[in-house]
Structure 1
Amino acid sequence: MPPSKEIETTNMKFAVKTWCKSGRARVGLLQFKTTTIETPALLLTTRKGLPAFISPDHLSFLPSPDSRLLQFSPMHFMEGPNLKTISNIGGVHQLLGLQGYGFVAVPRDSILSLPECYSSNKNGASFETPCGRFLVKPLEYIKMISSMKPDLWVSLADEVPASVTAKRNKASVDRTITWLDDCISLKPKDAALFGSIVGGCSVEERKRCAQEVAKRNVSGYYIGGFGLGDSIDERSTFLHAVTDSLPKEKPRQVCGLGLPEEVLQGIAAGIDLFDSTYIYHLTLEGFALVFPLNGMCKHDVSDPQLCAMASDYTKINLKATIYRKDASRIVDGCMCYTCQNHTKAYINHLLNVHEMLAQILLEIHNTHHYLSFFRLIREAITEGKFEEFRQKFIQNRRGHLFVASLTASELETSLR
């Protein structure tokens, strides 16, 4: 399939450069005034504009430009500087001193700003935040966006969990489309707007929502409603139902797919941007990513105790006693700042004395490792080997899970 024509708004340009020979996976180029990112790409989750454990001076330790796309929720700023102050400063870029980064404003995240579907109504979406529960109406939301001046922003959506009734699910689609029309009529002139697509666990509602949003004048699409109790086995059907209804030349973003297998599933369906808290939650719990990258980075998993603790072979728990005297790096061959300068034993010590430096070092490694995973995916698509890459990764994971389950069972028997 030939490269698509370039889609351009005042603040954003997007073009598909390479399509997978068989399937929907693609490599694109997303350009903002501040930065240029190759897709498929990961949006780094932030709290009030910065990754939770990384200060601005540590951002330089992450791969560039892959790490220059930051997701934030406007709801995070409900406590702190008021909107007028943020606007007078010049928006989030000036507020945070990160002029060379791209900022993507998304109403929902999975850390601080959770949608509360039973408190939402036709006037606005309800969110649970550290400041309490808030009902956010489209006009109020647009005022936030206008003050914060992100490079890209997502329209307000009524996201619902998989457990809601068909009637409530239909209402969520109707509200989301109505709010999108409100956002379009009120939106700032220079902003790139992604239209939200919901529909819960109904293929028909997801198709209906996607078809309606595709009729609107938006720069791209945000596919929501995942990670809220839905089944991973059904996601491929939902994703394909949505992407089938969308124009191929515009970018697609998804929220709620974070595991490596889920990312590969999304890319196979034609997704370009991933908004996920996967790295944050790993780091918070003291886990480090160790899964092989193209066979170049390997971690010793021959010890049965280690197999039991890192049962899925993607991560290890650095709080575990087994690492107290381990002088090796997290991943041999990893070029991140953490692996180049520190050992598992040191990070184990920091974790067990509750020193925040542990999370800083883990966040740097985990982000570096996962961004490298995305880079390898892009290379596989460009070389026409994405499906081979995907199947090999999944088969290796299944094999590792099987071996780990046997090893854990043997270990449990020996301890009796």
Structure 2
Amino acid sequence: MSKIKYELLHVDKYSKARRGRIHTPHGIIETPVFMPVGTNSTVKGLTNDQIKNIDSEIILSNAFHLFLRPGMEIMKDFEGIHNFMNWNKPLLTDSGGFQVFSLKDRKISEEGVLFRSPLDGSKIMMTPEKSMEIQQTIGSDIAMAFDECVNAKWGYEYMKDSVDRTYRWAKRSFEAHKKENQSLFGIVQGGLFSDLRQRSLEQITSIPFDGFALGGLAVGEKYQESEKVLKEFGDKLPKDKPRYIMGIGSPTMMFLSVENGMDMFDCVLPTRMGRHGTALTWNGKLNLKSAKNKFDHSPIENDCNCYACKNHTRGYINHLLKRDEMLGKTLISIHNLYFNIHLIHKMREAIENDSFLDFKKEFFSNSSYPLQN
């Protein structure tokens, strides 16, 4: 078994959108790709068969949460996450950086981040070396270097120090990573400062990572600010490696990301919206809790081939939601993930035909999704 291999198959003639293929120890990933989030080694409310039936090629799990529970002793006992959750397709773990930095009681030093466990209050020091140890024990196909995920609104001087610290942590992550059949991605930071993004880009890409990510976006900044970073730096990432933008999952942001040369993205949005009764459709968002669905015999979306649409009506799902039945949330989650994944399939076809921008225009003209968030 070897690390990943990336093939660039085609670039759209009229945009930076690219069509590729990633070979991993657990199978092939066609790109661009949307990755459902399985934080605790499960995509909330869905079985593995349900995830596979919506054509998911890879899922994401979280090193920080798995480190806390079930813990590395259990991961070692099961010889990794694929055995633990009985998942035989590719899997990516994030480093836990975002979760660590979202905690209030934490102290950042050159060594790493000292924080208290949200489970029992015990003190934990998370370092690049510790993050690599955790992710290697988990055994994901793709691991992420430990970085500092900062608020995009923080000041220039702190951001500059953070960028340089992320670089030093990236070098330590690379040196500590020894698992031969696991790839490691580096993360470019820099917030909304172009010169710091460029600085981070040059620093991180100087390390021979297997892929590269743009971090520090989708953390509350305006759409125009994300757009500026993506347009300026998306296509500057190495062309012969996978490009990953973290935390992206709305149709608007997926189109923006693909148009600017990104290959991979993940988000909890489809399942979170599903648990709150909102479906994603080709016409726009649909509130299935609304009383107008009570007598509706139609599926969530006509001509949709997901399990929910092939087997159940809006009226039935409305009833499940009103009674707070788990099945209702599961059905909408299945549909929403199917929607995102098959929207990406359509993007792939459009890239291959050099018609990505035409497809984008058609999509937004026929739906209520905002062209800009």
Q: Where does residue 71 of structure 1 map in the other structure?
A: 60
Q: Distance between the aligned counterparts of 1:340 and 1:158, measured in 2?
A: 44
**Cross-structure match for 2:24:** 32
Q: Does 1:275 pair with 2:266?
A: yes
Q: Residues 129-140 of structure 1 correspond to what in structure 2 (within 5 A)?
A: 131=119, 135-140=125-130
CA shift for structure 1 position 376: 0.3
Do 1:214 and 1:245's aligned partners in 2 also have CA atoms closer than 8 Å?
no
* Partners of 2:65 and 2:96 within 8 A in 1: no
Deviation of 1:147 (Å): 0.7
Contact 1:124 1:138 in 2 (8 A): yes
Alignment partner, residue 115 of structure 1 = 102
Query: What secondary structure does 2:236 align onto?
Result: coil
Contact kept, 8 Å, 1:20 with 1:382, in 2: the verdict is yes
CA distance in 2, matches of 1:127, 1:11: 32
CA distance in 2: counterparts of 1:153 and 1:119, whole angstroms: 24
Q: Tell me the residue number matched to 1:20.
A: 12
Q: Mapping of 1:337-376 within 5 angstroms?
A: 337-376=307-346
Q: 1:141, CA displacement in angstroms? A: 0.8
Aligned to 2:143: 153
DSSP 3-state at the match of 1:162: coil
- Whether 2:75 is the aligned partner of 1:86: answer yes
Counterpart in the other structure of 2:33: 41
Letter in 2 for 1:39: T
SS at match of 2:309: helix
Three-state SS of the structure 1 residue aligned to 2:173 is: helix
Q: What is residue 231 of structure 1 aligned with on the other side?
A: 222
TM-score by length of structure 2 reads 0.92
In the alignment, the residues of structure 1 paired with residue 239 and residue 265 of structure 2 have an alpha-carbon distance, to the nearest angstrom, of: 17
Query: How many angstroms does 1:47 deviate by?
Result: 2.6
Q: Give the number of the structure with larger relative contact order, counting CA–CA contacts within 8 Å between residues 6 or more apart.
A: 2
Is the contact made by 1:115 and 1:126 (CA closer than 8 Å) also made in structure 2?
Answer: no
Matches within 5 A, 1:10-409: 10-63=2-55, 67-99=56-88, 101-108=89-96, 115-116=102-103, 119-125=107-113, 131=119, 135-190=125-180, 191-292=182-283, 314-397=284-367
Distance in 1, matches of 2:236 and 2:346, equals: 28
Larger radius of gyration: 1
Q: Distance in 1 between matches of 2:339 and 2:321?
A: 20
Distance 2:15 2:64 in 1: 37
Change beyond 3 A, Cα 1:134–1:274: farther
- Contact 1:114-1:127 at 8 Å conserved across structures: no
Q: How many angstroms apart in 1 are the aligned matches of 2:113 and 2:363?
A: 39
CA contact (8 A) 2:364 2:370 kept: no
Residues 332-374 of structure 1: CA distance to partner in whole angstroms, max 9, x if unpaired?
Answer: 1111111111111111111111111111111111111111100
- Secondary structure at the aligned position of 1:376 is classed as helix
1:281-306 superposed Cα distances (whole Å, 9 cap, x missing partner): 211211111125xxxxxxxxxxxxxx
| 2:186 counterpart SS class | strand
* 2-structure distance, mates of 1:369, 1:397: 13
Q: Secondary structure at the match of 1:181?
A: helix
Report the count of equivalent residues.
Answer: 367
State the shift of 1:134 in Å: 5.4
**8 A Cα contact 1:336 1:365, kept in partner:** yes
Let me know the Cα RMSD of the aligned residues: 2.3
Cα distance between partner residues in 1 of 2:231 and 2:194? 10
Gaps of 5+ in 1: 1-8, 293-313, 403-416
**Does the 8 Å contact 1:49/1:70 carry over to 2?**
no
Return the alpha-carbon distance in structure 2 between the equivalents of residues 272 and 182 of structure 1: 26
Q: Provide the secondary structure at the position in 2 that maps to 1:319.
A: coil
What is the identity, as a one-letter code, of the residue corresponding to 1:270? Answer: G
For residues 378 and 228 of structure 1, what CA distance do their matches in structure 2 show?
27
Measured in 1, the distance between the counterparts of 2:50 and 2:97 equals 23
Q: What is the CA–CA distance in structure 1 between the aligned matches of 2:366 and 2:314, rounded to whole Å?
A: 25
In 2, distance between residues paired with 1:401 and 1:388?
16
> Structure 1 stretch 199-208 or stretch 122-131: which is displaced more?
122-131
**Mapped contact 1:25–1:268 kept (Cα < 8 A):** yes
Flag the 1:179–1:68 CA change in 2: closer, same or farther, 3 A.
Answer: same
Alpha-carbon distance between aligned partners in 2 of 1:250 and 1:11, rounded to the nearest angstrom: 12
Q: Partner amino acid for 1:212?
A: Q
Any conservation in 2 of the 1:125–1:156 contact (CA below 8 Å)?
no
Distance in structure 1 (CA, Å) of the matches to 2:246 and 2:146:
14
Cα distance 1:116–1:201, how it changes in 2: closer, same or farther (>3 A)? farther
Q: Distance in 1 between matches of 2:260 and 2:346?
A: 18
% identical equivalent positions: 26
**Distance between the aligned counterparts of 2:190 and 2:166, measured in 1?**
10
Deviation at 1:161? 1.2
